[in-house]
Structure 1
Amino acid sequence: MWWPILTLSIVLVILSVILTGFILLHKNRGGGLSDLFGGGMSSSMGGSSMAERNLDRLTLVIGIIWLACIVGLLVLYRTHPGA
């Protein structure tokens, strides 16, 4: 029963990298990675753009899946302590 733990561990590492990238791409008041891709050149309008809202949704979905992988690994390690 080692393959579910290995699979979830690999998925967790991949999701961690993706989640870090999504968080760094968010628009910020200060400098950041979003400024590197032209986010700093936008004017301060009243609302957020469609791309920013989609990035928020993607970040939330990836974060929930990331959390589910952590809980899944916890359950697998608790039910199979010798793995």
Structure 2
Amino acid sequence: MDLSLLKLILQIVLAVTGLLLIMLVLLHRGRGGGLSDMFGGGVAAGASASGVAERNLNRITVGMAIVWALCAIGLGVLMRVMAVTG
């Protein structure tokens, strides 16, 4: 695979995961409720259901952050390799 194609793919994945990460963080319920109230998070009927939803949201957010960080590191390594090889 051509390194410039790999660079493009990593840049696209980094941008998409960055936007998704921003949206996921905004969906988290903070002290004031946040945007999760706008999407029905404040109308949760049972405490256990909202706890499970919040736990799943935490897991998805952490997973997305790991993917974003790996893409950022991979892009940095790739840029260094491209600079050395010319």
* TM over 0.5, shorter chain: yes
Where does the alignment leave 5 or more consecutive residues of structure 2 unmatched? Answer: none
Distance in 2 (CA, whole Å) between partners of 1:28 and 1:37 is 14
Number of paired residues? Answer: 81
Alignment of 1:3-82 (within 5 A): 3-42=5-44, 49-81=51-83
Distance in 2 (CA, whole Å) between partners of 1:58 and 1:12 is 16
Task: Find the residue that maps to 2:31 and give its secondary structure.
Answer: coil
Task: Find the residue that maps to 1:30 and give its secondary structure.
Answer: coil
Q: Over the residues paired in the alignment, what is the CA RMSD in angstroms?
A: 2.1
Structure 2 length-normalised TM: 0.82
Where does the alignment leave 5 or more consecutive residues of structure 1 unmatched? Answer: none
Distance in 2 (CA, whole Å) between partners of 1:25 and 1:34 is 5
Question: What's the CA shift string for 1:53-74, capped at 9, x where partnerless?
Answer: 0000000000001000000000
Distance in 2 (CA, whole Å) between partners of 1:72 and 1:23 is 23
Shift of residue 37, structure 1, vs aligned partner = 1.2
